[in-house]
Structure 1
Amino acid sequence: MDALPQELVPSHSCGRAASEALVSTDKGVETLNYAHLGVQALMSNNLSVFYVNPTCANITGIAIYSSAAEDRQASGSGFWYRFLYKNKNLEQLRGETNLETATYVPEQLWRQLKERGASYVILKVYAHAGLFVEAAEQRSGRPHSKVLSISIPGLEGVGLPSPLPFLLPRGKTFGEGTHCGYWNYKNWLSDGVTTCSGNGAEELNVLCQAQHLTQFSFLIGGSHAQLQLENVQLQLDVSHEQLLDIISYVGCGLSLFGLLCIFLTAALVKKWRTQASTKVLLHLCLALALQLLLFVYLSGGEDWLTLERNWHRCLILGAALQYSVLVIFSWMLIIAFLQFQRYVTVIGVARPNHYILISALIAWTLPLLPTLSVVLLDAKSFKPSAHQLKHHATFCYPSGYGLALGVVLPIALVTIANAFMMICIIYSIQRALNPRRKLIVQQLRLSVLLFFLLGLTWIFGLCSYLHLSIVFSYLFCLTATFQGFVLFVYFVLLNKTNRNAWLNLMSPKQFRLKVPKTEQQSMTTSSSNNSRRMQS
């Protein structure tokens, strides 16, 4: 391509009479011939090349737009363009709307380059960065704009005597970690390229200045090979991360305490632990306890060098944590279905024999499928990200496509199904009961219980994963990590039978004094009947 300008825009074509440009299209490539002005272009959906001879009409650049205007020409590739002269006002160009990329060689710089033998300018505009495949696993940024290539035949590899300006759209991602960069045929770098912030939030476009010629783009954030999603990965401030960690540790501690109390209550109250609903609850609590213990252990910030030497251990722990999360959601889906049958499908409910055993087999074995799939197909996704390594917070857990397809997708499907069944349950109860104050309070308590029991707190987690707002990160940590403690409050503290069992165990004499005589007689009668049955 760099050898074509003397054939396409030769100096002897300058000033030849031409009322309009000659435009032709062949096999998806649009040819634009402005040879009398010293410009000829080849434009397509993926790549457009502009050959410029500044000697003809002092044109030294091009501006690409995403919408039409009076001074812009339309292309068959879905963008609009106009030529820029070497005396163009840079600040005026910087304030234009719908600008996708623009560059030109200023008059003083072109005079210096011409003294060094420059005759032509070649500008290439790549619609996306699909051709720029990085070899390094760790990257300092990735393109968020069109890729602009600037070359001057005869001056390859030579530094510029003064900076060459080019403009890229600011977008909504401008901020810390965003900068102009260039391609060195291995990865994207930023040395030798200056990013001018200007007026901050008020500016429409970012001004970049280069000291050399190559391909340029606007880079955002940092990324790692395991983060292959196209989403912008927003990194929380250190202060937010520390506060969220504290909330998570407190929530996990209280939840573990609550789950321990639930298991002790089941051991203490035989009548309660023999109920089918309690057996399902205990399975859920066991999965919750496994997840919380693994989370607390893995989030201890173990040195990555230690984990790297024992990579199989990191892989096993990360897969175990993924499996425990999916088991929890399997049980929450089963519980939601059972509650749906209880409150909505009241008539004709016929549960199969040993349905608890069948549910246990499904809930504990089905999550093995996505877990083993990620382990076998994308084991490297369990390695900690560059951001975690930077902040010494190593964590063995899937990321990238492994996280999206092996964790987020199943959680999202179960959460949507549980939310639908919860709405049906609340609506069914609302219609069946009179709206008296006591019943309204009971409905409210049931709604809160179902919200935690069915894992709807993970709605906040999905919103946080989509980076909608940091508020959802706080809501998720304030609700999801306290799930075990909330279950303890509802099934132990607010359950009269279980609460009385604990009071009787801790202070039997005081408890008997506080219990009414009628209740003591009933308890005594029940106890004597039980002893007679045991003797018989």
Structure 2
Amino acid sequence: MGANLVSVCNEMMKINETVLRLSARLNATNVLLDNFEQNMDALSEYLVHDESCGKVIEEAARESAEAGVKLINKADIGVQALISSKLSVFYVNPECNNITGMAIYSDASPDHTSSSGKLSYRFLYANESAERLKREPRLETAAYMPGHLWRQLRHKGASYFVLKVFANDALFVETSMQSRPRPDVKVLSITIPGYDDKLPNPVQFLLRKPKQVGVVCAYWNYTTWNESGITTGSNMFDDIVLCETDHLTHFSVLLGVDLPEPHKPILSVLTYLGCGLSLFGMLGIFLTAMLVSKWREQASTKVLLHLCLALSLQLSLFLYFTSGHWSTQENGIGCLISGAVLQYSVLVVFSWMLIISMLQFQRYVTVLGVDRPHHYILISAIVAWSLPLVPTLLIVFLDRTSYKLTQDAFCYPTGNGLLLGVVLPIALVTIANAFMMIRIVYSVNQALRSRRKLIFQQMRLFVLLFFLLGITWIFGVSSYIFSKLIIFSYLFCITATLQGLVLFLYFVIFNATHRQAWLKFICPKLVKVDAPKDKTQIQSTTFSISSSKKNAVKVN
């Protein structure tokens, strides 16, 4: 009976996700899961009863040909197991030999007992150390009852310990249309038949997670994955996450940690508001370039317009894909296309910010000997618009399964695809831009040391460079690394989304010539445009990329 039940669930976990989602709407997956748990737990008193302890077992292991399940019978030491390709169930009677748990490994080491395929396992005893287990190579998952906890549970009537390991989360289907983080690792079920109360002391379990990915421990409540009552002891550099819980059920770790509920709607509003203001600002820059012919003909303006075009593309795609107009299914072609396009648009913006940073560095720091090619604007455009194709196409062809739905219902790279295809390039460009910005500000401060009255102009230059060069993404990288510090998420949402608006203020609103041009366009009879008496007024909020051997410090 046990082998047949495991075989049924094992086959169900191979079914197409769309079919399982349709079944979940009728609550079929939850009914199956609940009945499976109850029936399997009820078998424990027959498989590892106290009377079996110490008795010789003639047939310790055999294969169930009908069900495709491997049966491991070690009832003499209080252990029996039913193992299939996607689901394994371990029964433990700690009273037989002080075994209180199991550890599963991804290899067939001589130190472990081979199970099926490449997996192996070993018994865990009441005196095990979770921290030592965490350091064991190729550990996939582990759970055990410490000696003091089992004695307390034994006093309350507990007799057996059942551990079920699901290879994926196929049977744990959320019916809500709201996309939330979900497991991409094994699901662990820990039960004590006949005991449903809260544990007198927390129990620890371990699960392997993808490297460089922030996770949070959670349990399945037959509706969704919930994190309450569970402690996560891990950082992004750990291979194994250590979880601690005060109750028993199905557990896993969620990838791409969701934001706490009070903060998520606030950050969403800030994001959409900032994106809208940035798009408005960049529209103002494009209209100003159309209105002021001399300004749009400058090489510096052409670079700025390319940046604004790339930024407008990125924000427009983000708003479109998150608005629900683009229907995507996880692992579908639509998810792949939208995720790759979004990734490309972000990297294009950073390519232009890196080019602008290098040009500004040449202007303010490397003043002499700058010799640019004749068509360097065209060359820059080719590089900036084509270079981001390299990491994007590498992820598409080498790790296309990393494009998955996020909690905001749009597709984007996850796991190593996110780390190598998005976070790493952004981090490298941001660090390089931050270094060049510091050198620029230092160079300007040294040149104007004797002119303290220009401190306000220096501060304006610093703020402009901070937004122009994308230094705001330092907060984004920090929020990825330090996912528990919500302050970085707020700083990132407020600053990064306002980049277009800040550029509009500096290059249009704060520029006297452009203000006068707009006033003349709106009210030509009431406004008389006079050229500024001081040429430096025109240059106060623009940046130059000309190859000049003159003094390059012009911030006033």
Instruction: Indicate whether the TM-score tops 0.5.
Output: yes
Q: 1:465 to 1:358 in 2, by over 3 A?
A: same
Residues 2-48 of structure 1 show CA distances to partners (whole Å, capped at 9, x for unaligned) of 8995579x9xxxxxxxxxxxxxxxxxxxxxxxxxx966999969965
- The letter for the 2-side match of 1:49 is F
Do the aligned partners of 2:405 and 2:412 also contact (CA within 8 Å) in 1?
A: yes
- Say which of 379, 384, 402 aligns to 1:363: 384
Q: 1:48 to 1:368 in 2, by over 3 A?
A: same
Partner of 1:288: 311
Partner of 2:344: 323
Partner of 1:207: 246
Larger Rg: 1
Correspondences of 1:103-502 after superposition (within 5 Å): 106-107=154-155, 109=157, 133-134=167-168, 136=170, 159-160=193-194, 167-169=202-204, 206-208=245-247, 219-220=252-253, 223=254, 227=255, 233-302=256-325, 306-308=327-329, 312-385=333-406, 387-388=407-408, 394-434=409-449, 436-466=451-481, 467-502=483-518
Aligned identity (percent) is: 46
The two structures, once aligned, show a CA RMSD in angstroms of: 5.0
- The letter for the 1-side match of 2:511 is N
Q: 1:40 to 1:277 in 2, by over 3 A?
A: closer
The Cα shift of 1:468 comes to 4.1
Partner of 2:522: 506
Structure 2 gap segments, 5+ residues each = 1-46, 58-73, 75-95, 104-110, 113-119, 138-143, 175-181, 207-214, 232-242, 535-556
The Cα shift of 1:77 comes to 7.5
Do the aligned partners of 2:168 and 2:186 also contact (CA within 8 Å) in 1?
A: no
Do the aligned partners of 1:196 and 1:207 also contact (CA within 8 Å) in 2?
A: no
The Cα shift of 1:344 comes to 0.8
Distance in 1 (alpha carbons) for counterparts of 2:330 and 2:154: 55
Residues 467-500 of structure 1 show CA distances to partners (whole Å, capped at 9, x for unaligned) of 1422222211211111111111111112222222
Distance in 1 (alpha carbons) for counterparts of 2:315 and 2:99: 64
The Cα shift of 1:399 comes to 2.8
Distance in 2 (alpha carbons) for counterparts of 1:327 and 1:437: 38
Distance in 2 (alpha carbons) for counterparts of 1:398 and 1:340: 32
The Cα shift of 1:49 comes to 2.3
Distance in 2 (alpha carbons) for counterparts of 1:67 and 1:309: 35
- The letter for the 2-side match of 1:134 is N
Partner of 1:64: 128
User: TM-score, normalised on structure 1?
Assistant: 0.61
Distance in 1 (alpha carbons) for counterparts of 2:394 and 2:458: 41
Do the aligned partners of 1:179 and 1:190 also contact (CA within 8 Å) in 2?
A: no
- The letter for the 2-side match of 1:410 is P
Correspondences of 1:83-122 after superposition (within 5 Å): 106-107=154-155, 109=157
Q: 1:83 to 1:324 in 2, by over 3 A?
A: closer
Structure 1 gap segments, 5+ residues each = 11-36, 51-60, 69-73, 91-101, 114-120, 152-158, 182-188, 211-215, 228-232, 389-393, 520-536
Residues 420-478 of structure 1 show CA distances to partners (whole Å, capped at 9, x for unaligned) of 11111111111111254431111100000000000111111112223142222221121
The Cα shift of 1:364 comes to 0.6
The Cα shift of 1:272 comes to 1.4
Q: Secondary structure at the residue paired with 2:306?
A: helix
User: TM-score, normalised on structure 2?
Assistant: 0.59
Q: 1:446 to 1:361 in 2, by over 3 A?
A: same
Distance in 1 (alpha carbons) for counterparts of 2:129 and 2:288: 68
Distance in 1 (alpha carbons) for counterparts of 2:303 and 2:461: 18
